[in-house]
Amino acid sequence: MKNKKYLFDKPKNVKLLIRALYASCFVLFTLDLVIDRHIYHPWEEFIGFYAFYGCLSCVILVLIAREMRKVVMRDEDYYDIKDIAVDDLRTEDENKNQGIEEKKKEDLMMTGEKVDG
C-alpha cells in the first residue's frame, strides 16, 4: 500500500499537466487575435488585455503579499502570548504587590520593634 504510486507521484504527469496549461494559454492568446470581442472600454482593444492583466495582477499581488509578510506576520502564538503574558504579568504584578505588602510588613515589624523597644 505504502509503495503505491499515485497520479502526481510521477514527475511525468506533473510535467504533462503544466504543459497542458502552457498549451491552453497559447491557444487562448491566439484566439484573441482571431475572435472579434465586444469592447466596452478602450483598454480592452489591446490584444491579450485580459491575459496580461490576469498574469500581471497575480504576480503583483503575490509580490506585494510577500512584502506585506514583513510587516504583518507574527508568530502563530502571537495573540496567545498576550493571554500568557497577561497571566505572567498579572502574577508578576501580584508578586510585586505581595512584595510591597511584605516590605510594608517588614517596615511595620521594624517600627513595631522600635516602639516595643
Partner 1 sequence: MDSLLPILPFFITAILALFTRGWVRAVIMIGTPIIAAYGIYNLEVGHTLNATLMGFELSPIRIDRLSMLFGYLFCIAAILGNIYALYHKDTMQHFAAQAYAGSAVGAVFAGDMLTLFIFWELMALTSSVFIFARRSDASLYAGIRYLVIQIISGLLLLAGIVVYYQSIGNLDFNHLGLDAPGAWFFFLAFGIKSAFPFLHNWLTDAYPEATPSGTVFLSSFTTKVAVYALARSFAGEEILIYIGAVMAFFPIYYAVIENNLRRVLTYSLINQIGFMVVGIGIGTELALNGAVAHAFADVIFKGLLMMSMGAVLFSTGEMRGSELGGLYKRMPKTAIFCIIGAASISAFPLFSGFVSKSIIVTAVLQEGYYGVWLILLFAAAGVFHHAGIKIPFFAFFSHDSKHSETAKEAPKNMLWAMALSSVLCVLIGVYPGTFYSMLPWPMDYMPYDTTHVLTQLQLLFFSALAFVWLKLAHIYPPELKSVNIDAEWIYRKLFPKSIYNITNIWSLFYGKVQLQMGQLLQISQYTTTQFFGADGFLSNFRSLGGMVMWVAVLLSASLFLYYL
Q: Which residues bind partner 1 (CB under 8 A)?
A: 2, 6-8, 18, 21-22, 24-25, 28-29, 31-32, 35, 37-38, 40-41, 44, 48, 50-59, 61-66, 68-69, 71-76, 78-79, 82-83, 86, 89, 93, 96-97, 100, 103-104, 107-108, 111, 114-115
CA-based radius of gyration for the chain? 35
Q: How far is CA 31 from CA 27, 38, 46, 109, in A?
A: 6, 14, 14, 95
Q: Are 43 and 49 in contact (CB under 8 A)?
A: yes
Minimum gap (Å) between residue 9 Cβ and partner 1: 8
